[in-house]
Chains A and B, each alone.
Chain A
Amino acid sequence: MGWRLSKFNVVSMVFGFSFLYLPIVLLVVYSFNASRLVTVWSGFSTVWYRELWNNRGLLDAAWVTLRVGLLSASIATVLGTMAAIALARYRRFTGRTLMTGMVYAPLVMPEVITGLSLLLFFVAIDLDRGFWTVTLAHISFTMCFVTVVVQSRLVSFDRSLEDAAMDLGATPTVTFFQITLPLIWPAVAAGWMLAFTLSLDDLVIASFTTGPGATTLPMKIYSQVRLGVTPEINAVCTILIAIVSVGVIVATLINKRRLVRQARNERLAAEG
Chain B
Amino acid sequence: MGAEPAIDRKRSGDPGTRRKCGFGSRGLFRRIVIGVPYFWLVALFLVPFLIVVKISLSQTAVAMPPYLPTFGDPSTWWSGLQQFSFDNYVWISSDDLYFNAYVLSLAIAAASTVLTLLIAYPLAYGMAKAPPAWRTTLVMLVILPFWTSFLIRVYAWIAILKPEGLLNQLLISIGLISEPLVILNTPTAIFIGIVYSYLPFMTLPIYASLDRMDQSLIEAAADLGSPPLKSFWTITFPLSLPGVVAGCFLVFIPAAGEFVIPDLLGGSRTLMIGKTVWLEFFTNRDWPVASAVAVVLVAILVVPIVVFQRQQARIG
List chain B residues, Cβ under 8 A from A89. Answer: 22-23, 33
Please state if B259 and A111 are interface contacts (CB–CB under 8 Å): yes
Complex contacts, A90 vs chain B, CB 8 Å? 21-23, 30, 33-34
Is the CB–CB distance between B126 and A221 below 8 Å? no
Say yes or no: is B171 at the interface (Cβ < 8 Å to chain A): no
Contacts of A1 in B (CB 8 A): 128-129, 210-211, 213, 215, 218
Decide yes or no: A91 and B20 within 8 Å by CB, A24-B145, A112-B277 being known contacts.
yes
Residues of A within 8 A of B158 (CB): 225, 229
Asked whether A86 and B142 contact (CB < 8 A) given A9-B126, A92-B21, A120-B291, the answer is no
* Chain A hits for B313, CB < 8 A: 100, 104
B166 within 8 A of A: yes
* Residue from A82, A104, A225, A247 in contact with B33 in the complex, judged by beta carbons closer than 8 Å: A82
**Cβ-defined contact, B29 with A9, below 8 A:** no
Residues of B within 8 Å of A106, CB to CB, are 45
Given contacts A82-B32, A108-B254, A151-B316, contact A241 B166 (CB under 8 A): no
Residues of B within 8 A of A88 (CB): 22
Asked if A268 lies at the interface with its beta carbon under 8 angstroms from chain B, I say no
Question: At the interface, yes or no: B177 with Cβ under 8 Å from chain A?
Answer: no
A242, chain B: closest CB distance, angstroms: 10
Decide: B156 and A201 in contact? CB cutoff 8 A: no
Query: B313's closest neighbor in chain A, by CB?
Result: A100
What's the Cα separation between A169 and B30 when bound, in Å?
A: 16
Instruction: Report B-chain residues with C-beta under 8 Å of the C-beta of A12.
Output: 122-123, 125-126
In the assembled complex, A155 has its CB within 8 A of some CB on chain B: yes
Contact among A38, A120, A176 with B55 in the assembled complex (CB-CB below 8 Å): A120
Residue pair B277, A166 in contact (C-beta under 8 Å) = no
Q: Which of A21, A105, A108 contacts B145 (CB 8 A)?
A: A21
Q: Is the CB of B294 within 8 A of A116?
A: yes
Q: Identify which of B36-44, B74-82, B83-91, B92-100 touches chain A.
A: B36-44
A117 touches B151 (CB 8 A): no
**Cβ contacts B281-311/A at 8 Å (1 or 0 each):** 1100001001100100110010001001100
> Separation in Å of the B305 CB from the closest CB of chain A?
6
- Which residues does chain B contribute within 8 Å of A26, judged by CB atoms? 156, 159-160, 166
CA distance A240 to B145 in the complex (A): 12
Q: Is the CB of A172 within 8 A of B46?
A: no
- In the bound complex, do residue B49 and residue A117 qualify as a contact, i.e. CB atoms below 8 Å apart? yes
Provided the pairs A1-B211, A19-B119, A229-B159 are in contact, do residues A80 and B37 lie with their beta carbons within 8 angstroms? yes
| Residues of chain B at the chain A interface (Cβ within 8 Å) | 9-10, 15, 18-24, 27-30, 32-34, 36-38, 40-42, 44-49, 51-52, 55, 65, 70-71, 119-120, 122-123, 125-132, 136, 138, 140-145, 147-153, 155-160, 162, 164-166, 169, 196, 199-200, 203, 210-211, 213, 215, 218-219, 249-250, 253-254, 256-260, 264, 274, 277-278, 281-282, 287, 290-291, 294, 297-298, 301, 305, 308-309, 312-313, 316
Chain A to chain B contacts (Cβ below 8 Å), 9 pairs: A12-B126, A19-B199, A90-B21, A105-B309, A109-B257, A124-B71, A143-B40, A162-B22, A240-B152
Known: A117-B45, A225-B158. 10 other contacts (CB 8 A): A3-B130, A13-B122, A15-B119, A86-B33, A89-B22, A91-B22, A106-B45, A113-B298, A167-B15, A222-B151
- Please report A residues at the B interface, Cβ cutoff 8 Å: 1-6, 8-10, 12-13, 15-17, 19-21, 23-24, 26-27, 30, 38-39, 79-80, 82-83, 85-93, 95, 99-106, 108-113, 116-118, 120-121, 123-124, 136-137, 139-140, 143, 147, 151-152, 155, 159, 162-163, 166-167, 169, 171-173, 175-176, 193, 197, 200-201, 203-204, 207-208, 218, 221-222, 225-226, 229, 233, 237, 240-241, 244-245, 247-249, 252, 256
